[in-house]
Amino acid sequence: MAEIILNVDVRDGVGTGSARAARRAGAVPGVLYGGDKAPVAISVNEKDFRKNLYTGKLLGHLVTLKYGKETQPVIAKDVQFDPVSDRPLHFDLMRVDEKQTIKIEVPVHFINHDECAAFRQGGSLEIVRHTVEISVRADHIPEELVVDLAGHKMGDTIRISDIKLPKGVEPAIGDRDFMVAAIKISSAAKADAADEAADEAAAEAEAEVAADEVPATAQSDEGDAEETPES
């Protein structure tokens, strides 16, 4: 079963009033839905909810919902936060079967930046998808999808086919090899290259002017020498 256990209480009623009452009582209101059962309004002690939330293993993972002596595997699908205090305001749980195949988004993590020569050449990583939706059994959801940047070159595009997916994991989008990221020359590098090109052009122009002036001076000196009378 899942590592995290959420001890929930069933709320009386639904709507804004019930949610506010739960928050005043030191709980986070939520909704349990999915399967062949009707949605149920629930709540979890806020301190316990925060503790589980900040482990990074709550949202988007299989967890165990516990109500009295009953347990139920669920997926924490969404958490809403107060935009000012960052306090959790509401959460959604989806009923699942542990062996059920579900679609869920997981984060993409990029590693070995230091082993990618393109970044030393002024390249930058342009991330197209920070998360990728996958199809996977509920009890085999990976923590993340890993992209190894070692060996990639400037101009490379990184597609889903370039990512080594864990066993049993498939992209939810199966009809195309979609892009996840690309390695492009950065704006700063472009500006530096333009400045360098301008400096080189200016230096070449100065060299050409100097080259044109030297012969003229030499010719004038030779003329003066011819006009000097012999002693």
Read off the pLDDT band of 57 (50, 70, 90): confident
Q: How far apart are CA 26 and CA 68, in angstroms?
A: 19
Give the pLDDT confidence of 137-192 residue by residue, as tens digits. 998 999 899 999 998 999 999 999 999 999 999 999 999 999 999 999 866 555 55
Among 20-29, 59-68, 130-139, 200-209, whose mean pLDDT is lowest? 200-209
Q: Report the CATH fold assignment for 102-185.
A: RNA Polymerase Alpha Subunit; Chain A, domain 2 (2.170.120)
**What's the pLDDT at 55?**
86
Give the per-residue pLDDT at 144.
Answer: 92
CB 23 within 8 A of CB 17: no
* Contact between residue 213 and residue 205 where contact means Cβ atoms under 8 Å apart: no
Which residue intervals of 81-121 are DSSP H helices?
117-120
**pLDDT at residue 207 is higher than 80:** no
Q: What is the CATH number of domain 5-96?
A: 2.40.240.10
Q: Which residues contact 88 (CB under 8 A, 6 or more apart)?
A: 28, 46, 49, 50, 53, 79, 80, 81, 82
Amino acid making up residue 39: P
What count of Cα atoms within 13 Å lies in the side-chain half-sphere of residue 128? 12
pLDDT for 17 equals 87
Please state whether the predicted TM-score (pTM) of the whole model is above 0.75: no
Q: In this structure, what token pair is assigned to residue 209?
A: 């002017």
Q: What does the pLDDT read at residue 173?
A: 95
Which DSSP helix (H) or strand (E) runs through 6?
A: strand 5-10
Buried b (16+ CB within 10 A) or exposed e, 3-39: ebebebeebeeeeeeebeebbeeebbbbbbebeeeee
pLDDT band at residue 200, thresholds of 50, 70 and 90? low
* Residue 106 contacts residue 134 (beta carbons within 8 Å): yes
Q: Domain-by-domain residue ranges, the chain?
A: 5-96, 102-185
Return the closest-CA partner of residue 147 out of 175, 185, 107, 90: 107
* Strand order through the sheet with 101-111: 145-148, 101-111, 131-137, 170-171
